[in-house]
Structure 1
Amino acid sequence: MKIATYNINGINGRLPNLLQWLREAEPDVVCLQELKCQDHQFPHQALKDAGYNAIWQGQKSWNGVAILAKQEIKELRRDLPGGGDEFTHSRYIEAFIDGLVIGCIYLPNGNPYPGPKFDYKLRWFKRLADHAQNLIGRELPVLLIGDYNVMPTEMDTYKPEKYVDNALFRIESREAYRDLVAQGWTDAIRHLYPNERIYTFWDYFRNAYARNAGLRIDHFLLNPAIAVKLKAAGVDKHVRGWEHTSDHAPVWVKLG
């Protein structure tokens, strides 16, 4: 089974790219982030024609998450527990697909640091960690997938010194990610490639993609019930080089 995550950076504007990649990569399940569309604008028919069922939670402007699957999708929740008036962003959706619990995550960016956006990022991270703690020990396989907006280590950025005060690399963000993984989750990419610089995002500016000046901020966390079935993982880096493409590349794992 092949499962992917892709911050699409505007699903309607990048729909041709998404459909081309789906034809090429043939993933069974895809988590999408940063839809940048409201619910009624989601291109569900085009995805259905491509062979994918979908659930989604859109939002005007910058947020929105969706899960696509060739199989039947049973929606489990459309937000993390412990919400309220403060947490109105569409950043989490969870589904049951072919025996797997899959959470699709778009964690807040948090910049600029310091400031209220960074404080919000950490509060949102705490809600994710609390929910993850409830999921980690389940007998069912669980995957928490998506754009975490965190570079966990210096190996996950081409230039660590540049990002010392960036919300994606602040020590508080990295500690929150480390504490989350320490619950018992397996970071799929880092587990399979412990010593390699692998990036999932390249900025549009300063010719970052051509220079391979990238960041690893899109992650797969697997609970013990499914981590033992991890067979392969990778990044479809070439998709970042397509015309009018997202600044992220699709990331995927294969489960045996």
Structure 2
Amino acid sequence: MALTFATWNINSIRVRSGLVKGWLDRNPDCTLLGLQEVKCEDGQFPEIFAQAGLHTALVGQKGYNGVAFISRRPLEITCRALPGFEDPAARYIEAELEGIRFGNLYLPNGNSGGEAGYATKLAFFAALRRRALAFLQAGQPFVFMGDFNVCPTDADCAPNALEAYDALKRPQTREAFRRLLWVGLTDAWRALHPDGRAYTFWDYQGASFARDSGLRIDLILLSPQLADRLVSVHIDRDERALERPSDHVPVSATLNWP
């Protein structure tokens, strides 16, 4: 059997609910979609998804942040915040589906708030690493997916797309990401596409999409049991060319599971 899931920073679900519904209609094999930056409070999530028979779960916040799931099957929500990360922002939701834990995350950008803001970014990475270690110790298959706000290597950032000391590519940021990977996780895209450039985000300014001056910051990380089952990964670049798009595009993965 195959299980397909996806992540997408939608940059306001109320503005772009039609884009999400259209994408789901065109991708009927996608069982679970994790959204970030939904930018709405609980109770404000658009009703069109429930009306279509889809299951939704939200950790919301007024005007900022916010993470959500849209699923074709019932979900068991296991966490509404990242354990061990002390911050009121709505940045993490976790669910179990088909025996897999899915952690849907919106990691802090780290460019605002000075060094305290950047420390919050590193603290999220550290808490996520501890969560991964807990799952690994328990033998629990899991996925972390979402907007990680990190360009893991220079190949994941178009030349001159970011300032030299931007928080998305500072050495400490990349080190924190590597520390997360090195517990035994696999970056799904790079597992199947080890070389070359492919982006998931293009800024609205400076004709970034037309110039293909993008970043790969929307990632899917797989635990060892799932990395062995990986079949394909797709970055849906075409979504960025639609009218009033998000500045991010969906990234999907398919596993042979169970």
> Which TM-score band applies after superposition, normalised by the shorter structure?
over 0.9
Contact 1:112 1:167 in 2 (8 A): no
Equivalences for residues 134-149 of structure 1 within 5 A: 134-149=134-149
Q: Mean alpha-carbon deviation: is it higher for 118-127 or for 225-234?
A: 118-127
Compared with structure 1, are the counterparts of its residues 216 and 161 closer, same or farther at alpha carbon in structure 2 (3 Å cutoff)? closer
TM-score, with normalisation over the residues of structure 2? 0.94
TM-superposed CA distance for 1:122, in Å, is 1.0
Task: Report the 3-state secondary structure (helix = DSSP H, G, I; strand = E; otherwise coil) of the residue aligned with 1:28.
Answer: strand
Task: Report the 3-state secondary structure (helix = DSSP H, G, I; strand = E; otherwise coil) of the residue aligned with 1:116.
Answer: helix
Q: 2:39 aligns with which of 27, 36, 55?
A: 36
Equivalences for residues 3-14 of structure 1 within 5 A: 3-14=5-16
Match of 1:71 in 2: 73
TM-superposed CA distance for 1:127, in Å, is 1.2
TM-superposed CA distance for 1:70, in Å, is 0.7
User: In structure 1, what is the Cα distance between the partners aligned to 2:150 and 2:180?
Assistant: 12
Provide the aligned length of Structure 1 versus Structure 2.
253
Q: 2:20 aligns with which of 14, 18, 21?
A: 18
TM-superposed CA distance for 1:113, in Å, is 8.1
User: Per-residue displacement from partner, 1:88-107 (whole Å, max 9, x unpaired)?
Assistant: 01100100112211000100
Task: Report the 3-state secondary structure (helix = DSSP H, G, I; strand = E; otherwise coil) of the residue aligned with 1:158.
Answer: coil
Contact 1:204 1:247 in 2 (8 A): yes
User: Per-residue displacement from partner, 1:181-206 (whole Å, max 9, x unpaired)?
Assistant: 00000100011100021100000011
Match of 1:49 in 2: 51
TM-score, with normalisation over the residues of structure 1? 0.95
The two structures, once aligned, show a CA RMSD in angstroms of: 1.4
Compared with structure 1, are the counterparts of its residues 77 and 19 closer, same or farther at alpha carbon in structure 2 (3 Å cutoff)? same
AA matched with 2:245 = T
**Structure 1 alignment gaps of length 5 or more:** none
User: In structure 2, what is the Cα distance between the partners aligned to 1:243 and 1:122?
Assistant: 35
User: Per-residue displacement from partner, 1:156-214 (whole Å, max 9, x unpaired)?
Assistant: 00116843211111111110001100000010001110002110000001111111111
User: In structure 2, what is the Cα distance between the partners aligned to 1:120 and 1:99?
Assistant: 31
Task: Report the 3-state secondary structure (helix = DSSP H, G, I; strand = E; otherwise coil) of the residue aligned with 2:220.
Answer: strand
User: Per-residue displacement from partner, 1:50-95 (whole Å, max 9, x unpaired)?
Assistant: 34211110001221001111111001010111244xx101100100
User: Per-residue displacement from partner, 1:207-234 (whole Å, max 9, x unpaired)?
Assistant: 1111111100001110011111100001
Task: Report the 3-state secondary structure (helix = DSSP H, G, I; strand = E; otherwise coil) of the residue aligned with 1:66.
Answer: strand
User: In structure 1, what is the Cα distance between the partners aligned to 2:224 and 2:40?
Assistant: 35
Amino-acid identity (%): 40
Compared with structure 1, are the counterparts of its residues 221 and 138 closer, same or farther at alpha carbon in structure 2 (3 Å cutoff)? farther
User: In structure 2, what is the Cα distance between the partners aligned to 1:245 and 1:71?
Assistant: 27
Contact 1:192 1:233 in 2 (8 A): yes
Match of 1:210 in 2: 210
Contact 2:85 2:124 in 1 (8 A): no
Task: Report the 3-state secondary structure (helix = DSSP H, G, I; strand = E; otherwise coil) of the residue aligned with 2:43.
Answer: helix
